[in-house]
Structure 1
Amino acid sequence: MKQQLPKNFKPKALAALIGLTFTLNHASTIAQEAEPETALETITVTAQKRTQNLQEVPVSVTAFTGDEMAEAVIKDMYDLQTNVPGLGAFQSQSATNSSFSIRGVGTSSQNFGLESSVGLYVDGVYRARQNSMINNLVDVAAVEVLRGPQGTLFGKNTPSGAILVSTVTPSHDGGDSFVEATVGNYGLVNLSGATSISAIEDVLAFRVTAFGSQRDGTIDSVGNGSETGKNLLNDRNRWGARVQALYTPNDDVSVRIIADYADIDEICCGAPVQLSNATINPDGEIGSDLALPLLGGTVFAGGDAFYDREVAVSFLPESTMTDKGLSAEVDWELDENYTLVSISAYRNFESFDNIDTDFTDANLFGTYNDSKQSSFSQEIRIDYTGDNLNYILGAYYFTQDLDLDYSLYTDTFFNEFYMSSLGGALDDLFAGINAISAATGGAVAPVADAAPAGTGFDHQAKQQHESYAVFGQFDYELSDTLTLTAGLRYTDETKDLVTIFSENLADGSQSPEFFNSTTELIIGAGAAGVAAGNIGAALAGGQAPSAEDLAALLPFQTAGWGFQ
């Protein structure tokens, strides 16, 4: 469910900011060269993996420098989408279900095995997990959003486009250090800072970046199911750090090593806030879920209260994520025309969420999702720059391992919810079985819960993913006003997946499989009804029930008989 505000929602001041920033000559990898007043400024981008004038790049690009992001108060990807046409960034039921789209085309993040159709890159390193990109953008030199397929040079799943994030590189003069503090309503406190350290003049420099972000939630929790109070859901609790080293032994070689770590631990998300869990719409018309109050759930009022930012859930959602990695980039200018570039990276990402999946404070069911991902990537390429001809030739390797532990589990009222869905069709049968059980002192078992609490519909999966690619792109200047561009990429990609589905009761035993369809349930109920009559007659005549009749009752005496 996307968190979108209704058209007639009256926004509150959710982020009134008071900021204090100390900055010295903030560095940027997107250069803006001052031109005469009669000329357009030159904006250089790396949308084609080399520095070019934005006006000469045959790609639809929106580019921001770090200074421009600060002026526009772009703190993360959700802020970025408000400044980039066609870019969408969404959160669903939890922070771990975040996804991106460009021009309306994206990939759901709720299937852990899928990768985004929007290619996500930080300092040239591919990020396979969409939700690893939702943390704060701190000490960023530039962001470029490329719209449309970028399959030649950015071959990893970029049919929609690509987002390229470049962080500030270490420097020797220290003039790009900064400390920033931002405070606002809803308890907002953002702290960040960065500094460069020159260890060996013009040879070795380091840069340290750190940030923290806290904010109360923007959605109230009401009802009887969980902790209640104002501003509990959609809070912010994030922090991270990045350490870099830049080694330049001579004018031709540079080595940049980056280690980063980021953490998110939040109560997210108030997914159905635009509906307020209501069964009464804005016009006061009653919806179809009339059983909700009988199950202990809260029904919200219609009218203006329909758009209040509040939800009623059985328990507060939990979302945690850790993202860490190490990368090394080597740039070697072989001569005035050729440059060898190598980018190696290892990344590890872990996420966990536990959410109330029925989105009401009736205790029906929930979901937990524990996932882990580790990946390694290696890119190596030759960049050639000539008078009329420029080209890039490269090879790319990517591998990742995915582990998923997922469960949809039932809560305390799910059995009542299931039984209410049957209506009174089986009431006589159940009354008869329970009467026989009472008459025999429990020797014949009573009716068991059809859908007992604590049952897990579990899904464990492991995926191994490996990809190889070779690519090239050529730009030949036919004239001062006409350039021919041609590119080609070959990719070989394999995914091996092992998945185990199971249905386990609270005691660890597997859910029974007596009835696989409504038809089988009706047939089984009919047979049990006949058997109950036979058993009653036998007991009244002082005889023992037959084994066949007792066997006909067994499905309804076994916990979990209704799940199939």
Structure 2
Amino acid sequence: MTSKTVTLVALLTTTAWQFQAIAQSSASDSTGMGLEATAPVGVSDEEIIVTARRTAENLQDIPVAVTAFGEAALQKRSIDTLDQVAKYTPNIRFDGAAALSGGNYNATVFIRGVGQNDFAIFSDPGVGIYVDDVYYARSIGDILDAVDLSSVQVLRGPQGTLFGKNTIGGGMLISTANPDLDDVSGRIEGTTGRFNRIDVKGAINVPLIQDKLAIRLSAATINRDGYVTRLIDGTDQGDRNADMIRAKLRFQPNDAVTIDIGGDYTRARARAFCPQ
């Protein structure tokens, strides 16, 4: 099965403070539930800042059940795909392949028992998934590879007041890393394993105009042979073959205005193993 996803988003923010989703000290991460990230300006290291109500707030001050992970917490738990967040989050069932879908990238998400089994194009999900505030309206392609993410927030319970009709079970807010206006940086990582697994992920950040304009590029290729052979025809199932690229541009002409433009492309080809 082959699926393609293309996303383009442009955001204009007119505010003096730019909070990037979440923060927590490494000491408080010892609970296994939190984040490891640098606290934004004006927030102490003892606070966890989330955007569950579309504004930056202390997690302990909001009436929403939230489990949040920062970049370091995702890496420490070796989370490679979005569905693996369910291993560390209560009250959620996140299957990496919808029944009879034939693909590894069709999500089946239930939070507190509320969700949607049907992956068909005309079916609305019961749990909303947002990437950089862009809503993914269908479950096809929602098993995102965790490439250059800054945070993941899981909101449990109905979120229709702020996030719309398709969040009766809850919502997942995914934030990708934003460009840094000051420093040139980059990273690359590789993983290999059984069944000819070869994963390569990388990112590079380049300021174009110091303190005003920067671009960040992320890319990955994910490959693995199937681990189950279907006896009727000898077809391998459970394989993965995905390529993705993301570009984000940040323009900050002054302290009161920030313009973010981002786009990404993903191509995934796989045969899911669906024992049910």
TM-score by length of 2: 0.81
- For residues 170-249 of structure 1, the aligned pairs below 5 Å read 170-174=179-183, 177-223=186-232, 226=233, 228=234, 232-249=236-253
Q: Which amino acid in the other structure matches residue 244 of structure 2?
A: G
User: Cα offset for 1:33?
Assistant: 4.5
Alpha-carbon contact 1:174-1:195 (below 8 Å) kept? no
State the secondary structure of the residue aligned to 2:140. helix
Alpha-carbon contact 1:218-1:235 (below 8 Å) kept? yes
Find out whether 1:32 has 2:50 as its counterpart: no
- For residues 360-375 of structure 1, the aligned pairs below 5 Å read none
**In 1, distance between residues paired with 2:61 and 2:131?**
23
The 1:239–1:57 alpha-carbon spacing in structure 2 relative to 1, beyond 3 Å, is: same
User: Cα offset for 1:64?
Assistant: 0.1
Q: Which amino acid in the other structure matches residue 170 of structure 2?
A: G
Q: Which amino acid in the other structure matches residue 250 of structure 2?
A: L
User: Cα offset for 1:83?
Assistant: 1.3
**In 2, distance between residues paired with 1:104 and 1:260?**
32
Find out whether 1:52 has 2:30 as its counterpart: no
**In 2, distance between residues paired with 1:128 and 1:215?**
28
State the secondary structure of the residue aligned to 2:88. coil
The 1:66–1:35 alpha-carbon spacing in structure 2 relative to 1, beyond 3 Å, is: closer
**In 1, distance between residues paired with 2:213 and 2:120?**
43
- For residues 27-176 of structure 1, the aligned pairs below 5 Å read 29-33=21-25, 41-90=46-95, 91=97, 92-93=99-100, 94-95=102-103, 97-174=106-183
State the secondary structure of the residue aligned to 2:90. coil
Give unpaired runs (5+ residues) of structure 1.
1-27, 275-564
Deviations 1:401-435 (A, max 9, x none): xxxxxxxxxxxxxxxxxxxxxxxxxxxxxxxxxxx
**In 1, distance between residues paired with 2:131 and 2:205?**
20
User: Cα offset for 1:78?
Assistant: 2.3
User: Cα offset for 1:149?
Assistant: 0.4
State the secondary structure of the residue aligned to 1:133. coil
Determine which structure has more spread, i.e. the larger CA radius of gyration: 1
User: Cα offset for 1:126?
Assistant: 0.7
State the secondary structure of the residue aligned to 1:82. helix
Alpha-carbon contact 2:151-2:175 (below 8 Å) kept? yes
The 1:216–1:156 alpha-carbon spacing in structure 2 relative to 1, beyond 3 Å, is: same
**In 2, distance between residues paired with 1:119 and 1:78?**
14
Alpha-carbon contact 1:98-1:109 (below 8 Å) kept? no
Find out whether 1:253 has 2:262 as its counterpart: no
The 1:159–1:197 alpha-carbon spacing in structure 2 relative to 1, beyond 3 Å, is: same
- For residues 89-488 of structure 1, the aligned pairs below 5 Å read 89-90=94-95, 91=97, 92-93=99-100, 94-95=102-103, 97-174=106-183, 177-223=186-232, 226=233, 228=234, 232-266=236-270, 268-272=271-275
Deviations 1:477-504 (A, max 9, x none): xxxxxxxxxxxxxxxxxxxxxxxxxxxx
Alpha-carbon contact 2:70-2:151 (below 8 Å) kept? yes
Deviations 1:448-478 (A, max 9, x none): xxxxxxxxxxxxxxxxxxxxxxxxxxxxxxx
**In 2, distance between residues paired with 1:102 and 1:118?**
7
**In 2, distance between residues paired with 1:97 and 1:76?**
12
Paired position in structure 1 for 2:41: none
**In 2, distance between residues paired with 1:155 and 1:87?**
20
The 1:254–1:40 alpha-carbon spacing in structure 2 relative to 1, beyond 3 Å, is: closer
User: Cα offset for 1:151?
Assistant: 1.2
Alpha-carbon contact 2:64-2:155 (below 8 Å) kept? yes
The 1:76–1:216 alpha-carbon spacing in structure 2 relative to 1, beyond 3 Å, is: same
User: Cα offset for 1:35?
Assistant: 8.2
RMSD between aligned residues: 2.1
Structure whose residues are more often helix by fraction: 1
Equivalent residue pairs, number: 238
User: Cα offset for 1:187?
Assistant: 1.4
Deviations 1:103-146 (A, max 9, x none): 12111234321111101100011110112221311100000000
Alpha-carbon contact 1:115-1:129 (below 8 Å) kept? yes
Alpha-carbon contact 1:221-1:233 (below 8 Å) kept? yes
User: Cα offset for 1:29?
Assistant: 4.2
**In 1, distance between residues paired with 2:160 and 2:244?**
31
The 1:97–1:166 alpha-carbon spacing in structure 2 relative to 1, beyond 3 Å, is: closer
Give unpaired runs (5+ residues) of structure 2.
1-19, 29-43
Alpha-carbon contact 1:135-1:262 (below 8 Å) kept? no
Q: Which amino acid in the other structure matches residue 166 of structure 1?
A: S
Deviations 1:225-246 (A, max 9, x none): x2x26xx111000110000110
**In 1, distance between residues paired with 2:203 and 2:45?**
32
State the secondary structure of the residue aligned to 2:72. helix
State the secondary structure of the residue aligned to 2:74. helix
The 1:33–1:269 alpha-carbon spacing in structure 2 relative to 1, beyond 3 Å, is: closer
**In 1, distance between residues paired with 2:118 and 2:267?**
19
User: Cα offset for 1:31?
Assistant: 1.8
User: Cα offset for 1:221?
Assistant: 2.3
Alpha-carbon contact 2:66-2:154 (below 8 Å) kept? yes
Show structure 1 runs of 4+ deviating over 6 A.
none
Alpha-carbon contact 1:135-1:238 (below 8 Å) kept? no
State the secondary structure of the residue aligned to 1:70. helix
TM-score by length of 1: 0.40
Aligned-residue sequence identity (percent) comes to 36
